[in-house]
């Protein structure tokens, strides 16, 4: 059973933490939520160069910079060795455990995750969901009961196991303004991280000058 649509909660825009993300971080999060490779376990292919290729001006390095913010905020868990990214809250918000058929799809998708660490994080998220919503019918499946007996790992344990983000930004936040003043733009940011507003000088330049993607 392949996914042919994305389930995105409209109240995400009322979430204070999500609204604290930069536009770059929000864009990457939405990109992964709607990516064709996202499985019923919430895992998508992590290939920064290919993600960047869906845009006109971004590079693989830009994508890693955006990802740093989402990793710091615990929105994503990325295994760069297996080239997989887990949307951490996918299991919680997608409603899979409300339906036995969808719960079976999750079990199958979990088995297809290459990363042992990401498989363990999914188990941890499922256990947390079971505690919070024990009435969901998916818990009654034998396949799910067996799945929950597998190894689990918290986010902190997973981070200790996984490769580091290769981004040059050590803070994990590509666009946070150290001054705390949202009206000021951090001049240290690369041009590709600066939003291009319609009619702005940067926007006009982008349209008239071809961008050379880094190899």
Kindly give, in sequence order, each residue whose CB lies less than 8 Å from that of residue 205, ignoring residues fewer than 6 positions away: none
Task: Return d(Cα 169, Cα 68) in angstroms, integer.
Answer: 8
Pairing verdict, β 76-79 and 43-45 = unpaired
**Which pLDDT value is given to residue 52?**
98
**Which pLDDT value is given to residue 12?**
80
CB 43 within 8 A of CB 33: no
Sheet of strand 76-79, all strands in order from the earlier edge strand to the far edge: 43-45, 84-87, 76-79
Q: What's the Cα-to-Cα distance from 5 to each of 33, 34, 37, 39, 56, rounded to whole Å?
A: 10, 7, 11, 11, 24
Task: Return d(Cα 65, Cα 60) in angstroms, integer.
Answer: 9
For 155, other C-beta atoms within 10 Å of its C-beta total 15
C-alpha dihedral (177, 175, 79, 152), degrees to nearest 10: 40
At 181, list the tokens: 């003043």
Positive or negative, the Cα torsion across 175, 32, 100, 107?
negative
**Which pLDDT value is given to residue 167?**
83
Q: What are phi and psi of 179, to 5 degrees?
A: -75, -15
Task: Return d(Cα 158, Cα 152) in angstroms, integer.
Answer: 10
Closest CA to 152 of 198, 117, 193, 200: 117
pLDDT tens-digit profile, the chain (215 residues): 555 566 777 778 888 999 999 999 999 999 999 999 999 999 999 999 999 999 999 999 999 999 999 999 999 999 999 999 999 999 988 788 999 999 999 999 999 999 999 999 999 999 999 999 999 999 999 999 999 999 999 999 999 999 999 985 444 444 444 344 443 334 334 444 434 333 434 334 344 444 444 43
């Amino acid at each position: 059973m392949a996914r042919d649509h994305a389930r995105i909660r409209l109240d995400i825009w009322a979430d204070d933490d999500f609204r604290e993300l930069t536009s770059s971080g929000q864009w990457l999060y939405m990109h992964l939520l709607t990516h064709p490779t996202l499985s019923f376990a919430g895992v998508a292919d992590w290939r920064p160069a290919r993600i960047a290729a869906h845009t006109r001006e971004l590079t693989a390095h830009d994508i890693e910079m955006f990802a740093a913010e989402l990793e710091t905020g615990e929105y994503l868990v990325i295994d760069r060795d297996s080239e997989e990214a887990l949307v951490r809250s996918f299991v919680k918000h997608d409603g899979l455990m409300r339906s036995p058929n969808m719960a079976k799809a999750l079990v199958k998708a979990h088995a297809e995750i290459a990363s042992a660490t990401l498989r363990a994080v999914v188990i941890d998220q499922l256990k947390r969901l079971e505690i919070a919503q024990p009435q969901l019918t998916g818990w009654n499946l034998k396949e799910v009961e067996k799945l929950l007996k597998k190894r689990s790992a918290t986010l902190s344990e997973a981070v200790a196991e996984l490769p580091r983000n290769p981004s040059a930004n050590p803070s994990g936040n590509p666009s946070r303004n150290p001054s705390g003043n949202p009206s000021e733009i951090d001049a240290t940011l690369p041009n590709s991280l600066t939003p291009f507003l319609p009619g702005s000088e940067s926007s006009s330049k982008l349209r008239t000058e071809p961008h050379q993607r880094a190899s």
